[in-house]
Structure 1
């Protein structure tokens, strides 16, 4: 976040295009892991903005560990999202370009999450009612994850 804080110190609340990566960790029963965000209280897929020098894949791995306490590996790029605009409660405006991955869990260990980013994590059945999402981009990711699970459920093993 130091990179974004440095940018914001220079440009204030002016709109920025920022790159991010997030992921869907789906279990064999079709439940997906989400995080309750500390900044808004809404739910979202673990993920976040890239650090300078990172790839999308490295970002999703780092963000999953920070946001959900889980070590993952990206399996498949499900969607590249680039058409959403968002204004944070503090007035910061962004167009997030997000790489949304299917991920698999590498370790059964859980790690502490960043309390400044995550209140808690929970699994939600993709066939159930989606929770209140952080923004439209996360709602769209829910649909992508649900549709992928229904087309490829036999391939998903966690």
Structure 2
């Protein structure tokens, strides 16, 4: 699923002005492997990311997004990081900033493939040989994999 209907409805009323949303990043692990997807819009590799639906529990959103985007069943193990992203400006002019909630999830079943059209590829990568990705996405993955169980809040020091 691309843009959720509730956001499309809001955009009809507010246009392209900045919109504050809550999102999740789901870092799914299976042994020493990490699930990554190649985004259809940018061509970049990333963990599964998505928008939390109104009234939805953030950990449920993470597991839902993984199932929708990669056809993989996973369960949330722990919260890794809560931070605010930079402002995004999409090709259509919409501006959005996210409170991003990063979860580490454990694989349960399924072999990844790009299930909903948001991605062109999906697969497992050994954590010591991850493909190139943006600094922002790499920080999300590294934070979820570093073994710290307590969540971090706010920006990470460079």
Q: Are the aligned partners of 1:24 and 1:103 in contact in 2 as well (CA < 8 Å)?
A: yes
Deviations 1:77-102 (Å, cap 9, x if unpaired)? 01112243222232221111111111
Give, in angstroms, the shift of residue 113 of structure 1: 0.9
Aligned length: 146
Q: CA deviation at 1:47?
A: 2.3
Which consecutive unaligned segments of at least 5 residues does structure 1 have?
153-158
Query: Alpha-carbon deviation of 1:111?
Result: 7.8
Matched, 1:124 2:125: yes
1:84 equivalent in structure 2: 86
Given that 1:75 and 1:102 are in contact with CA atoms closer than 8 Å, whether structure 2 keeps it comes out as yes
Q: How far does residue 125 in structure 1 lie from its aligned partner after superposition? A: 3.0
The one of 43, 46, 53 aligned to 2:45: 43
Change in Cα spacing, 1:2 to 1:13, as seen in structure 2 (3 Å) is same
CA 1:107–1:2: 2 relative to 1, 3 Å? same
CA distance in 2, matches of 1:114, 1:140: 25
Larger strand proportion, structure 1 or 2?
A: 2
Unpaired segments ≥5 residues, structure 2: 150-158
Describe the superposition over 1:7-51 as per-residue Cα deviations: whole angstroms up to 9, x where unpaired: 11111111111001121112322x311111112211221120011
Q: CA-atom RMSD, angstroms?
A: 2.2
- C-alpha separation in 2, matches of 1:93 and 1:120: 26
Encode CA deviations 1:37-70: one digit per residue, 9 max, x unaligned. 1122112211200111211011111100111111
Find the counterpart in structure 2 of residue 2 from structure 1: 5
Name 1:98's counterpart in structure 2: 100
Say which SS state the counterpart of residue 77 (structure 2) adopts. strand
* TM-score, scaled to structure 2: 0.80
2:144 alignment partner, SS class = helix
The yes-or-no answer on 1:27 pairing with 2:63 is no
Distance in 2 of aligned mates of 1:67 and 1:10:
28
